[in-house]
Amino acid sequence: MLDLLDFEILLSMKKFALIICFLLSFSSLKAQETYTVNGETMQLKTQIDGKIDLLWNIIDNQYRYFIRTEDGTITELKNTKNADNKFQEEYKATLKKSTADLASIDNLKLTLSSLTKFFDAYNTSADANYTSTKKVTTTELRLGIFGGITNSPFVENDDNIKTPVIGAELEVLPSEDSRHSGFFQIRSTFENDDFEYSTTELSLGYRFRIINTAKFGFYGDVKFATVNFYKGTQVVFDEEDNASFESFSDTAFDVPFIFGVGAEYRLTENSLITLGYNQLFAAFIDNQGNFSTDITLGYKLRL
């Protein structure tokens, strides 16, 4: 028979599962069109629509970019390496043929954000009727759920007891290939018979991707503001040193700067699996004697 803790965990997991099912159905509605380029059939998204169009997608875990000219010709923008392992930057020569040097190409990188700015600048200068996309946000949202174990390293835990933790996160990236992101996270840590302490934490944080490829990412993150709603049981002594147990609950706001690391692996175009090693240390909260055993595994979906 399920006890109260098992029931709470099961109920929370069901709620998260319903959220993911909804998001999966929503994400499938994102518009893409099918094209055939040099005999290869693929689905591409239109990032810029003007005299020259920027098409792109993630195909076989690689970012692929294409230019479509006014006559409908689609050409891939490539950046291959030669025998000396140096990038050839073929994409610059391809773009020069279609833009007549109306937009600067010297510092152009083969990334979605850099190409978007280039295509937008060219279309703005070449077509008086073109509407610039500069004011149009390219922000990407990712929603994830996660679960794992934690020893609550910033809480007194003499026996280093591990308890379950589950949570959800909304991550905001300035662009598809940005190394920087911010996130809002909610996570719940559950008590058990040996460690009667539980908390629900709301936090805001920043993440930087040290490794950032189409397939894999490795990052460090920091939570700079947290609100914790916690409860537990503590031992109290009366004047005659008789011990008794007393329940407590409270709410705490902190600016702790809690640091952690993590990795992400792309499963499909719109989904990733994540692994986090959290609460390694904090700038303004003391560790209570146990090195962090806060490990979570999660699933994240691009909205």
Predicted structure pTM score: 0.64
What domains are there in the chain, each with its CATH number? Answer: 4-25+139-302 (2.40.160.20), 33-126 (no CATH)
Per-residue pLDDT tens for 62-103? Answer: 899 999 999 999 999 999 988 888 899 999 999 988 887 666
Q: What is the pLDDT of residues 235-280, one digit of tens each?
A: 556 666 666 667 778 999 999 999 999 999 999 878 999 999 999 9
CA distance 176 to 212: 11
